[in-house]
């Protein structure tokens, strides 16, 4: 449901418009207008009935508050809407009103109207994800050489680059875009089955009407109506949950990098952004909070959609109803996270000097693996590991840099020159395939932009 206090923070305005009350009504009205056109094409209703029906199918002509009250008694939104639509049509053309909603059922209007809304939602997600992927690709390439501590179990590990971290997210976004492209044909399909799914009311003209209706709405015609087969919607909800988790990963890492005692990367600054009501110095990660919040809320909404799948017989009691607000809320929630992610990534601020400072916090210990690997090639793995471990313990106990300890250890000096030790203790020299990972992630993104589907790893 719309919440004026929080909508601008947690959702995107275009997505909220898609799932507004007017948006929901227009989806059902578009179904009714298309049904009239389809039935006239097939010869089920007279062509003269189409214009009066279609001209009345405008959401702004209906009293949302009155419909909301009627829904409480009717049990769904289509019943009072179709009654109100019928009254408007009859006022202009009583004959045309006879052909309204012919052969359809309430769920046909509601589900097909929802699919039309979802088509608009998918387009918004496609655009937003493409923009986010491009921003990630640009930032990954820009920061390919921005070295910072890798962190495992929240402790300093070996060096990585910020570009590599962003490339990891780019790869995940590319996979989300692939998944959406794959599920889209299954999702954007017509719902049209009549009272119990047989379309018996239309007799032999049922399939021709269904085909014409699908064409009018530019939706695929599925193999049969899906009134109580909800896998299509559940699949899309699951995708939304996956996307929320991917964006939540971005929010989590960025919030950690923004911590005062880390200070390596930041959300873009703006007047009044991230402040405190009492502490003038604060710069809170307000965008990351939306990403983390969405990732926290989305699993429960996805679970509701999954729990609503085992629907009874040909029309569900309660389980179908559980979807009505859940899926729109999930779309709006994830759209808000995507909007914030694009803002955060596009305007990312980086403190490369602080990254270098943080790399030195352990006084060279983050390069102990590099020394151990190089030494193992000369004296054996076990011996090298024991010797470097002893040097690390000395460096910690004596609060000295590992390079200094290595430099006064005879067994080490006997194996490496000063220049070799300096290189082994240079974080920028121990980045492995970091640049390669960036190049591969960006290449896959570019391929997808060209319409080439990368290998679904």
DSSP state at residue 268: P
- The token pair that represents 286 in the structure block: 């307000």
Instruction: Report the alpha-carbon angle 396-400-402, nearest 5.
Output: 80
**b/e sequence 178-197, b meaning 16+ C-beta within 10 Å:** bbbeebbeebbbbbbbbbeb
Q: Give phi and psi for 147, each to the nearest 5.
A: -85, 135
- Asked about 315 being catalytic, the answer comes back as yes
Where do the H-state alpha helices sit in 280-346? 286-307, 319-346
- Residues for the chain: how many in total? 457
Count of CA atoms in the C-beta half-sphere (13 A) of 209: 28
- The token pair that represents 60 in the structure block: 């702004």
CA distance 23 to 21: 5
- Asked about 276 being catalytic, the answer comes back as yes
Contact 134, 445 (CB under 8 A): yes
Tell me how far the alpha carbon of residue 412 is from its chain's centroid. Answer: 51
Work out the burial of residue 346: count CB atoms within 10 Å of its CB; fewer than 13 is exposed, 13-18 middle, 19 or more buried. middle
CA distance 253 to 314: 46
DSSP state at residue 197: S
DSSP state at residue 267: P
CA distance 229 to 207: 20
CA distance 76 to 66: 13
- The token pair that represents 187 in the structure block: 């999702």
Count of CA atoms in the C-beta half-sphere (13 A) of 205: 15
- The token pair that represents 369 in the structure block: 């693996």
CA distance 364 to 158: 10
Contact 373, 343 (CB under 8 A): no
The catalytically annotated residue of 175, 315, 356, 440 is 315
The catalytically annotated residue of 61, 87, 186, 276 is 276
Residues 6+ apart with CB under 8 A from 381: none
CA distance 403 to 407: 6
CA distance 2 to 124: 18
Q: Which helix (H) or strand (E) holds 29?
A: helix 21-42
Query: Which residue numbers are catalytic?
Result: 276, 315
């Amino acid at each position: 449901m719309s919440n004026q206090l929080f909508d601008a923070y947690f959702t995107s305005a275009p997505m909220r418009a898609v799932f507004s009350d007017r948006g929901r009504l227009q989806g059902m009205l578009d179904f009714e207008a298309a049904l009239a056109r389809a039935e006239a094409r097939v010869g089920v209703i007279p062509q003269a009935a189409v214009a009066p029906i279609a001209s009345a199918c405008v959401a702004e002509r209906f009293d949302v508050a009155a419909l909301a009250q009627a829904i409480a008694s009717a049990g769904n939104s289509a019943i009072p809407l179709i009654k109100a639509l019928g009254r408007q049509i009859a006022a202009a053309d009583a004959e045309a009103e006879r052909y309204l909603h012919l052969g359809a059922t309430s769920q046909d209007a509601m589900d097909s109207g929802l699919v039309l809304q979802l088509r608009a939602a998918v387009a918004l997600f496609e655009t937003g994800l493409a923009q986010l992927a491009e921003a990630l690709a640009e930032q990954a390439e820009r920061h390919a050489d921005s070295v910072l501590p890798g962190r495992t179990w929240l402790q300093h590990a070996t060096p990585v680059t910020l570009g590599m971290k962003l490339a990891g997210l780019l790869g995940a976004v590319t996979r989300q875009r692939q998944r959406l492209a794959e599920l889209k044909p299954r999702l954007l399909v017509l719902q049209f089955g009549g009272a119990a799914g047989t379309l018996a009311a239309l007799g032999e003209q049922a399939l021709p009407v269904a085909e014409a209706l699908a064409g009018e709405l530019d939706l695929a015609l599925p193999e049969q109506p899906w009134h109580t087969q909800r896998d299509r919607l559940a699949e899309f909800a699951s995708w939304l949950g996956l996307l929320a988790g991917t964006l939540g990963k971005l929010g989590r890492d960025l919030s950690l990098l923004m911590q005062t005692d880390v200070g390596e990367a930041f959300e873009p600054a703006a007047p009044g952004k991230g402040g405190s009501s009492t502490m003038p110095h604060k710069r809170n990660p307000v965008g990351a909070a939306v990403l983390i919040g969405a990732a926290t809320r989305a699993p429960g909404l996805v679970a509701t959609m999954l729990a609503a799948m085992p629907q009874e017989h040909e029309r569900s009691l309660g389980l179908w109803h559980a979807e009505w607000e859940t899926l729109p809320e999930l779309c709006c929630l994830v759209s808000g996270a995507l909007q914030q992610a694009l803002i955060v990534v596009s305007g990312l601020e980086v403190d490369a000097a602080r990254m270098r400072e943080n790399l030195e916090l352990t006084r060279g210990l983050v390069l102990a693996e590099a020394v151990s690997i190089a030494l193992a090639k000369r004296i054996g793995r076990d011996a090298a590991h024991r010797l470097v471990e002893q040097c690390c313990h000395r460096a910690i106990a004596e609060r000295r840099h590992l390079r200094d300890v290595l430099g006064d250890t005879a067994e080490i000096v006997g194996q490496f020159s000063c220049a070799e030790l300096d290189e082994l203790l240079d974080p920028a020299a121990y980045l492995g395939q970091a640049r390669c990972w960036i190049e591969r992630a960006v290449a896959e993104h570019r391929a997808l932009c060209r319409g080439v589907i990368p290998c679904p790893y």
